[in-house]
Structure 1
């Protein structure tokens, strides 16, 4: 069983979620400007895409890096915004009307309630989205979210690596440098990355013996927002 708790609007752990931060910025922008302009294909217009790239402060997709080689960026070239746009429409927090994205009454209400917005946004994003649809590859890893989440809950409790997590589910012998790299990439794209975007995991890189090692840690938001079957088996986190 996996339960997502609703946190208070002033809970400090909400700050760990890039997706929540992006959603709040988008909803507030639409409120402040009355609407967000859409292209003929119903994507956000470039003026807002550029604003989002600059203000989302998205991990791994900072404004300096994205604008270094691309002076013009479309919505589909900034996947976090494309996914967020879909989420806001599907959850009926916004709607398309006469060439614009406008907030619904519900969207306007949740824009003022970060805790409730997280409780609406994150479970749907993690559990109901086809994460392979915006990944580089169409492959999907075998498994279910309740198993992935409970095992990660234990394996990453005091930090682990992406390789060790993959091995916990699918066995050792896979590596980004051998024939198993596609399976590892699918697991990273469809399991680890959504959890990072949600703000439940954080990844750091280290170069060791000429190879990049990807360390995975649970964020404080994981502990405050999730209630999982095996929480009682975990050792208390040492107080610094």
Structure 2
């Protein structure tokens, strides 16, 4: 069973969450400017997307990363921002009104409660959003469930584990082939499980050199994982390595 602990608003481990940081910075922007302008298709306008790219400093989606492949930024070019927009409207923390995005009263009330906000955002983001839409084979959920994934990762990523190792533990070795080919199962594991956990700040991804292969990345639990999650496999993690 997956249980999230309630976190105090001054919990230092909350600083590990890019998702929480992005939401709080979005809140701050709206409080300063009153609203965020929307395009006719109801996406955030470019001026805010450009601001968010610099302000969020999102791992793998920094301002430099994004402008290296785009001359201008639309919301769909900055995937984490699209997720934040969807989260805020789905959870009724924000709404569209006459061409602008505004915070609701309930959303505004959470602006100074980061511990509570994390506790609302993270379970919804992990468990309720269909992350398979980002996969090369959309609408095909990775086999398994979050109870399995989190309990296995609780043990395997205590001291860091390569993506290829996690793929093998959860799904076995990929089929052998005389030619290099894309591992769809690894790709699905990354986009549907590992990356969402990285974006919530529960685990960190360390890439060797300039590699973009998730098989080679090392995934490690952050202090936020240990502060926020209570799992069945906690007893299997060696006490000597826990902080």
* Matching residue of 1:233: 236
The question of 1:168 aligning with 2:186 is answered: no
- Mapped partners of 2:103, 2:132: distance in 1: 28
* Matching residue of 1:95: 95
The question of 1:224 aligning with 2:195 is answered: no
- Mapped partners of 1:8, 1:233: distance in 2: 26
Cα displacement string for residues 95-150 of structure 1 (whole angstroms, at most 9, x for unaligned residues): 11111110011110111110000000000000010001234441431110101110
* Matching residue of 2:83: 83
- Mapped partners of 1:232, 1:19: distance in 2: 29
Shift in Å at residue 24 of structure 1?
A: 0.4
**Range moving further from structure 2, 59-68 or 48-57:** 59-68
Tell me the secondary structure at the aligned position of residue 109 of structure 2: helix
CA 1:131/1:237 → structure 2, altered by over 3 Å: closer, same or farther?
A: farther
CA 1:239/1:116 → structure 2, altered by over 3 Å: closer, same or farther?
A: closer
* Matching residue of 1:118: 118
Shift in Å at residue 69 of structure 1?
A: 3.7
Structure 1 residue ranges without an equivalent (≥5): none
What count of residue pairs does the alignment treat as equivalent? Answer: 237
* Matching residue of 1:152: 153
* Matching residue of 1:70: 70
Shift in Å at residue 238 of structure 1?
A: 3.9
* Matching residue of 1:53: 53
- RMSD of Structure 2 on Structure 1 (CA): 2.0
Tell me the secondary structure at the aligned position of residue 20 of structure 1: helix
* Matching residue of 2:206: 204
TM-score, length of structure 2 as denominator length = 0.92
Tell me the secondary structure at the aligned position of residue 159 of structure 2: coil
Structure 2 residue ranges without an equivalent (≥5): none
Shift in Å at residue 68 of structure 1?
A: 3.0
Shift in Å at residue 239 of structure 1?
A: 7.6
Given that 2:135 and 2:187 are in contact with CA atoms closer than 8 Å, whether structure 1 keeps it comes out as no
CA 1:175/1:40 → structure 2, altered by over 3 Å: closer, same or farther?
A: farther
Shift in Å at residue 173 of structure 1?
A: 3.5
Shift in Å at residue 71 of structure 1?
A: 2.3
CA 1:180/1:134 → structure 2, altered by over 3 Å: closer, same or farther?
A: closer
